[in-house]
Structure 1
Amino acid sequence: MARTAGSKFAFVLLLLLQDCPRTARGENHALSYTITVIPKPRFGQPWCEVQGEVSGNKFLSYDYGSKKFQPIGPLGMKVNNTEAWKKQSEALTDLVEELRKILLDIKPEIATTSDPLPLQGRMLCQCKANGHTSGSWEFGFNGQISLLFDSENRKWTVVQPGGELLQGTLANDRYITKLLIKISNGDCSKWLEQFLKHWEKMLETTASPTTVPATAQSRATAIMPTAWIFLVPLTCSILLGLLG
């Protein structure tokens, strides 16, 4: 069936619109802490490692010798002396000690032919574009995730062998369960909010100075619609001629 002029025009217009830029979406931000506890560290190896990130930017590490959290990078230096930094350090120190106790208790059950496996825990606190904050935990041995904890719904999910052992130990410990929920559901949203304020200020101060003047931008904006007025009919005429 031959195409009508209307269908040809709609087809051409669709081709033009496919290359139009999409509307920018709201960016999701996240605060995460990765904790590794080693039950039997080798000589010179720390028994605990902690790393903190804000939207993929490292800003924190744990000095097991002094038992202090050290700032990393520009963001870490900015938030180092804030109240949020102090609160997170206290909560994470408490959590690290509790995880170490748990690992020592279950060490005989997870021992291998070599050394007992290190225990890892990772918290992820996401602030979505709609303003809602959700928190969750991942736990496992030797880099393999075996247990998930949805702290918002207080639900444990075993995903790998060994998860049953962790679930039975963590879920039955009321203090550590309460601590996990408090950090990921209550505290982290406050910490993330404070850290992001400093991060946004850093982005503003480090913005490129070669910004196009407002007058030039307004002129460019005014020219663009005029150019499209002539470009679209011209392109449509050429394509319609090719389509016959």
Structure 2
Amino acid sequence: RLADPGSRVPGGARAWTPPRTVLLLLQLWRLVPESAAESPWGLPVVADGPASLAKMVMAELANLKLENKPWPGGTHSLHYHYLALSEPGPDLPQFLAVGYVDDQPFIHYDSRVDRAKPQAPWMATVDAQYWETETQKQRAWAKVQQVETWTVMGYHNQSTGMHSTQRMFGCEIREDGHTHSFWQFGFDGQDHLSLDLETLSWVSAKPAATRTKSWWETERCYAEYDKAYLEGLCLVSLRRYLELGGQSLTRKVRNLHRHRTKQDVERES
């Protein structure tokens, strides 16, 4: 739960009434069973029951509009980078997650510590429930990406040795009000798959990625959820983090690195 800078609860922690997007995401999270971590997003791969309800929630998330409030000037972004290793290494976490607002780290999860922790001073005032929720979320992601790592290794005929997968996703709002989102997946530091948000299809970066593409496209709901998150909750969260960060984030316009998609390249050619 993200705190509203204008409200407080006893003990100095900040409280916040979540918007509809957050309530929908929490509803979706409750639908996900622990045993479903074998598939992307940990969603149940069935056509009825919890999966159907999950798809309905995704659709509502995708249709939600941002609050009608002005954004701080300049270009702002919210990005997450996840790294999973096939096996533990010396002084290396098997799973690492870092979140960035305007290229500034604000949250960090290390599987060795097994807790989500603030990386920016302005996040230290967020209440304990937020950190517990983030910890649970990153634990679930660690399980999902671990399975993905081992599966992609098999697609590359690799059964031993140190290998890694990288997941990068996020959203950005530019000075002119236009938004941009991306979702990318890598293997051993090389591009593997990216999500085409217009067609909801996975784009293979190399022939070896086609088997992963087929696996992920078995259930379209994975891409639907990603799109709903990127175009809904991600932007709502970005606004809240900018409010929390205040002048440390908004006092100057940053020249942010932009992740270019296949569609960007085609438009420029």
TM-score category (smaller protein): 0.5 to 0.7
**Residue 166 of structure 2: which of 120, 127, 132 is its match?**
120
Higher mean C-alpha deviation, range 156-165 or range 26-35? 156-165
Percent identical: 20
Higher relative contact order (CA 8 A, sep 6+): 2
Q: Distance in 2 between matches of 1:93 and 1:174?
A: 24
The answer on whether the counterparts of 2:117 and 2:131 sit within 8 Å (CA) in structure 1 is no
Q: Distance in 1 between matches of 2:212 and 2:100?
A: 25
The answer on whether the counterparts of 1:62 and 1:70 sit within 8 Å (CA) in structure 2 is yes
SS at match of 2:175: coil
The answer on whether the counterparts of 1:37 and 1:119 sit within 8 Å (CA) in structure 2 is yes
In the alignment, structure 1 segments of 5+ residues that lack a partner are 1-25, 208-244
Higher helix share: 1
The answer on whether the counterparts of 1:35 and 1:51 sit within 8 Å (CA) in structure 2 is yes
**Residue 77 of structure 2: which of 8, 30, 33 is its match?**
30
Name the CA shift for 1:94/1:135 in 2 (closer, same or farther; >3 Å).
farther
Q: Distance in 2 between matches of 1:183 and 1:83?
A: 21
**Residue 146 of structure 1: which of 185, 189, 192 is its match?**
192
In the alignment, structure 2 segments of 5+ residues that lack a partner are 1-72, 253-269
Per the normalisation by structure 2, the TM-score is 0.56
**Residue 93 of structure 2: which of 46, 53, 59 is its match?**
46
Larger C-alpha radius of gyration, 1 or 2?
Answer: 1
The structural deviation recorded for 1:57 is 0.5
Q: Distance in 1 between matches of 2:74 and 2:96?
A: 29
Per the normalisation by structure 1, the TM-score is 0.61
**C-alpha RMSD of the superposition:** 3.1
1:137 correspondence with 2:183: yes
Give per-residue Cα distances to partners, 1:202-235, cap 9 Å, x unaligned.
468x99xxxxxxxxxxxxxxxxxxxxxxxxxxxx
Q: Distance in 2 between matches of 1:157 and 1:180?
A: 14
Give per-residue Cα distances to partners, 1:137-182, cap 9 Å, x unaligned.
1111111112211335423222234321321222224554344234
SS at match of 1:162: helix
**Residue 230 of structure 2: which of 178, 181, 184 is its match?**
184
The answer on whether the counterparts of 1:121 and 1:137 sit within 8 Å (CA) in structure 2 is yes
Q: Distance in 2 between matches of 1:172 and 1:91?
A: 23
The structural deviation recorded for 1:58 is 0.9
The residue that corresponds to 2:202 in the other structure is: 156
Q: Distance in 1 between matches of 2:206 and 2:86?
A: 21
Give per-residue Cα distances to partners, 1:95-142, cap 9 Å, x unaligned.
332222222334322354861521111002111223343321111111
Name the CA shift for 1:32/1:107 in 2 (closer, same or farther; >3 Å).
same
The residue that corresponds to 2:107 in the other structure is: 60
Q: How many residues align?
A: 180
Amino acid in structure 1 at the alignment position of 2:216: L
Q: Distance in 2 between matches of 1:118 and 1:44?
A: 15
Name the CA shift for 1:201/1:90 in 2 (closer, same or farther; >3 Å).
farther
Q: Distance in 2 between matches of 1:127 and 1:93?
A: 29
